Amino acid sequence: MRGWDGLVSSALLGTERRPPRFEELPEKIQEQLGEGGLLDAAALATLYKRAGRIPLEGFTPIEPAVGADRPLPRPAAIRRLAAMLTGFQTTALGEWLRAADERGWGVPPEHLPALAEYARNRAQYRPLVVAAAGRRASWLADLNPDWRFLHDAVVESNDPAIWTHGNALQRRSWLRSLRRRDPAAAVEALREVWPAESAATRLEFLGLLFDQLSPADEEFCEAALDDRAKEVRRAAATLLARIPGSQYGERMAQRVWSHLSVSQGVIAVTLPTRVDASMQRDGIDPQPHEGLGKRAWWFRQILAAAPLSASRPEQVTMPVEGCAPEVLQVAWAEAAVRERSADWARALLTTNARTDNRTAELLRILPPDEWISAIELLRARIDLADLVGGLPVPWPAPLATFVLDHLAKVGTARNWARLASIAARAVPADVLDHPISREPTGEEDTWRRRLVETLTFRREMYEELS
Amino acid sequence: MKWSGAGASERAVWGLCQGSGKQPYQTVVELAGPAFKCSCPSRKFPCKHALGLLFLWATGEVSSAEEPEWVSAWLTERSTRAERSAERAEKKPGEVADPLAAQQRASRRADRVSAGMAELQSWLDDQVRRGLSGFEQRGYSELSRLAARMVDAQAPGVAGAVRRAAGVVGRGHGWPGELLEELSLIHLVVSAHGRLGELPPSLADTVQSRIGWTVETARVLAEGEKVEDDWLVLGRVIEPDDRLTVRRLWLRGVTTGRLALILNFAPAGRQLDPLPARPGELVPGVLSFYPGALPMRALLTQTAPRLPSPRPGGLNAKQALASYVESLAADPWNERWPLVLAAVRPARNGENWALVDQAGDALEVLPGVDLWTFLAVSAGDPVTVAGEWNRAGFKPMTCWDGDRPVILS
């Protein structure tokens, strides 16, 4: 504004030293000012300026997101979502998003910032949030660098410069996505940089090969058996054991047969007397193992690393000469988990074989309709929560009913709390109406009450989204 | 317990009890209540000294005596307190207990305010004559001292304006100009106060309220301008402070188009009154406006349950600024103004944001405002948004996703 700066410098220097020159001000102000002094003039000028403010020009609005929004579920469902985002029963958030997505519902856009923040540090929620955000996902990702993950994962960069010049995290994610698109190219990329990488990096990258593992990877893994680092050699052996028909498997099978034979329904084992160089190369650890004789330990490693085809499931129940039957059982359990063999899992679980910490994994390999009968059998020795805790959720309806029936009978003893908290999340939508959820729970904060609360919360959630 | 100087009158029993300390405890019980007082540090109430004393008295071991000074003083203080609270309970709201005393209080305050304004005026004139240079060093403390003087002078409104001016000193490159703006508007209040009698009555009310005179709620309800309408809740802004949380709730009449402000205060950490309706809903009711040249602040008397409302109509950027200028014409000190902007789209404005209307005119969003909820709702499409405007920018309060209101603050 004309004359304003003059007023400011008069005020700064003082009117004694620099008398204000009102004639510089707009005429309107001079008219109003009359006999007034500097502060009167400044007040008029201030209001003159404020009243004269005009809108900004030259701004280009951000291009709108293209596409259409999904319809929104009913208000009760939205209120539940909002409650979960403020910390109430937040563990059910993923389930809500999945159920809404399957039924074609969208999410009110005002909840997207909170959802994006939630998924920022929880990668497993990201695809759900991307689906919920629909057309707004990549629009928001463009604006907020923290939410870049909202761009569909497919758009991940495949710029080879990331592989040669990126940081550890970028390279890892680059290799992982290449492995998914083109497994052979990933091995090729790995081969190029292999000798220059540190042992820790080699180990990490080798771990990515479990995804899409196939006979095409055998040559590379076989070479890694001669790696400088022990951990890398061990990881290469583990990979090779998973490749069907590999030379490594063949070698292990040969070793099994040279120490184990079956005749007249009895297994005869001759334990190895030494670990030779080729066995060590294939990952057999010569160092003794706690709680097991040295030679039995060597044989257990051989049998566990050999393909299951080197033995037959019926052998689980055969008498054993030459070593304790448990040595064989534990080895077979390890191999059965690796090869995901339902026949072997059944053979081991239904015969009270010793399977150590592999039991829950073996149960998982069984067809779901066999879970209950296996659990009935194993329950005598193993805690129910340990057995079902490893099963994928949601459980099949019969298993869920079985567990809830059981919980309904046991009162409020503290030792059932863990099973109850597992069941609360694992029960499928069509069993949420189980009679236990209608039982009065009393005022005390017991596992029973929390179970009923969670089941009810989830049941209402599905009702609202239907 | 060792008692000395124990005695009883018609209305009380008292005594001195030798405890573990040097000074004996003074214990007195008023019999009518009964009420207890003891100088011991016990948190139990009544304490064991009072109970022991009563026990002695009940068994006839305390003889009649003249009330000592410390006993009669306490009894007198108690009875005046009781009278006063009884008076308060009887008094109807809005009614002045003693009109003469109230008038005297008001005139005493008016004298104090006048003295304060005179002091402020001469200080301002002094500064301008000698110059504000050097204010970077001395300005903040001098203005803070002055603000405290204005509180003493019972002019809290002016005190607030002086504190705001103190906040400007040394901040950013253009602070001398900003400071001159603030000081000139303080000067405007002070000189308006000097000729209060010559001003139109409504403007005089505005000046009084800027100085910090508050009109009692009962008087507003009894005498304030009444407007009946369905009031759309445009949104709310909550300003938490160390001591006092302030909530500004902005309303707009559906048929009258009148804008209004409902203020709520709560000490820090305490709950504010519940909202009459959620932002985006309608409250049918009567507003009683506080007096002034720009009557905005009001009290709500709700007459029917709240209602849902469709998306309201709004202004473009030019119209919005014009409506604020109109408010300045009525009340030159007006700082905040509610705006409903129609069909605006977000744009980047450096580190901050701007809202652009259909004609390409833009208003800046207040720096530091978290705009992500608005951005997610808009996704680049035109949106209607209600907010609070001040010179630093627009603070969004509520926006509409179609006809669905979304609360932003």
For A424-440, what is each residue's pLDDT tens digit? 999 999 999 999 988 88
pLDDT at A157: 59
CA distances to A240, A306, A337 from A284, in Å: 13, 11, 19
**For residue A1, what is the nearest residue in chain B, using CA coordinates?**
B177
User: pLDDT tens, B165-186?
Assistant: 998 888 888 899 999 999 999 9
The answer, yes or no, to whether residue A155 has pLDDT greater than 50, is no
Q: The dihedral of CA B273, B277, B280, B282: what is its sign? A: negative
CA–CA distance, A20 with A16 (Å, rounded to integer): 9
Which band of pLDDT confidence, cut at 50, 70 and 90, is reported for residue B375?
A: very high
User: pLDDT tens, A38-90?
Assistant: 999 999 999 999 999 999 999 999 999 988 899 999 999 999 999 999 989 88
Provide, as residue numbers in chain B, all residues whose Cβ is less than 8 Å from the Cβ of A45: 184
Tally C-beta pairs within 8 A across A and B. Answer: 144
Averaged over B289-304, what is the pLDDT? Answer: 95
Q: Looking at the partner chain, which of B184, B332, B346 has a beta carbon nearest the beta carbon of A61?
A: B346
**Residues B176, A62: C-beta atoms closer than 8 Å:** no
Minimum mean pLDDT range among A144-153, B93-102, B129-138, B238-247: B93-102
A452 within 8 A of A437, measured Cβ to Cβ: yes
* Type of residue at B32: A
The answer, yes or no, to whether residue B389 has pLDDT greater than 80, is yes
Cβ neighbours of residue A252 under 8 Å, at least 6 residues apart?
A: A241, A282, A302, A305, A306, A307, A310
A451 within 8 A of A425, measured Cβ to Cβ: no
Averaged over A141-155, what is the pLDDT? Answer: 77
Averaged over A397-417, what is the pLDDT? Answer: 90
Better-predicted residue by pLDDT, B232 or A381:
B232
Which band of pLDDT confidence, cut at 50, 70 and 90, is reported for residue B87?
A: low
Taking alpha carbons only, the member of A5, A34, A47, A17 closest to residue B128 is A17
Which pTM was predicted?
0.73
Nearest chain A Cα distance for residue B317, angstroms: 6
Nearest chain B Cα distance for residue A125, angstroms: 19
The answer, yes or no, to whether residue B91 has pLDDT greater than 60, is no
Better-predicted residue by pLDDT, A404 or B96:
A404
pLDDT at A154: 43
Which DSSP string do the residues of A130-192 spell out, in sequence order? HHHHTTHHHHHHHH-GGGGGGS-GGG----HHHHHHS-HHHHHHHHHHHHHH-HHHHHHHHHH
Q: List the domain boundaries for chain A.
A: 4-51, 75-155, 160-241, 260-366, 369-466
By CB neighbour count within 10 A (0-12 exposed, 13-18 middle, 19+ buried), where does A442 fall?
Answer: exposed
Minimum mean pLDDT range among A226-240, A404-418, A450-464: A404-418
The answer, yes or no, to whether residue A369 has pLDDT greater than 80, is yes
Which band of pLDDT confidence, cut at 50, 70 and 90, is reported for residue A152?
A: low
**Residues A16, B130: C-beta atoms closer than 8 Å:** yes
Averaged over B328-335, what is the pLDDT? Answer: 94
Averaged over B279-285, what is the pLDDT? Answer: 96
User: pLDDT tens, B8-38?
Assistant: 888 889 988 887 767 788 888 888 777 888 8
CATH 2.40.50 is right for the domain spanning B317-407: yes
- The token pair that represents B262 in the structure block: 């409902």
ipTM above 0.95, yes or no: no
User: pLDDT tens, B96-117?
Assistant: 567 788 888 888 888 999 999 9
Give me chain A's average pLDDT, please. 91
Which band of pLDDT confidence, cut at 50, 70 and 90, is reported for residue A156?
A: low
pLDDT at B6: 87
HSE of A191, CA atoms in CB hemisphere, 13 A: 13
Provide, as residue numbers in chain B, all residues whose Cβ is less than 8 Å from the Cβ of A135: 379
CA distances to B30, B111, B198 from B78, in Å: 10, 33, 48
Q: Looking at the partner chain, which of A43, A53, A108 has a beta carbon nearest the beta carbon of B185?
A: A43
Q: List the domain boundaries for chain B.
A: 2-90, 99-198, 216-302, 317-407
By CB neighbour count within 10 A (0-12 exposed, 13-18 middle, 19+ buried), where does A169 fall?
Answer: exposed
**Residues B380, A63: C-beta atoms closer than 8 Å:** yes
Minimum mean pLDDT range among A126-135, B228-237, B264-273: B264-273
Q: Looking at the partner chain, which of A56, A110, A143 has a beta carbon nearest the beta carbon of B406?
A: A110
Q: Looking at the partner chain, which of A17, A112, A143 has a beta carbon nearest the beta carbon of B131?
A: A17
**Residues B363, A56: C-beta atoms closer than 8 Å:** yes
CA–CA distance, A190 with B206 (Å, rounded to integer): 78
Pick the CATH number of B216-302 from 2.40.50, 2.60.40, 3.40.50, 1.10.10: 2.40.50
The answer, yes or no, to whether residue B95 has pLDDT greater than 70, is no
- The token pair that represents B367 in the structure block: 């720096």
CA distances to A218, A284, B206, B391 from A237, in Å: 10, 9, 86, 70
Which band of pLDDT confidence, cut at 50, 70 and 90, is reported for residue A159?
A: confident
**Residues A39, B183: C-beta atoms closer than 8 Å:** yes
pLDDT at B365: 97
**For residue B374, what is the nearest residue in chain A, using CA coordinates?**
A110
Give me chain B's average pLDDT, please. 90
The answer, yes or no, to whether residue B129 has pLDDT greater than 80, is yes
Nearest chain A Cα distance for residue B363, angstroms: 6
The answer, yes or no, to whether residue B288 has pLDDT greater than 90, is yes
Which DSSP string do the residues of B237-277 spell out, in sequence order? EEE--SSEEEEEEEEEETTT--EEEEEEEEETTSPPPPPSS
User: pLDDT tens, A1-32?
Assistant: 889 999 999 999 999 999 999 999 999 999 99
Provide, as residue numbers in chain A, all residues whose Cβ is less than 8 Å from the Cβ of B404: 108
pLDDT at B85: 65
User: pLDDT tens, A316-363?
Assistant: 999 999 999 999 999 999 999 999 999 999 999 998 888 888 999 999
Chain B contact for A17 (CB, 8 A cutoff): yes
The answer, yes or no, to whether residue B74 has pLDDT greater than 90, is no
**Residues B363, A144: C-beta atoms closer than 8 Å:** no
Q: Looking at the partner chain, which of A39, A47, A53 has a beta carbon nearest the beta carbon of B124?
A: A39
pLDDT at A446: 84
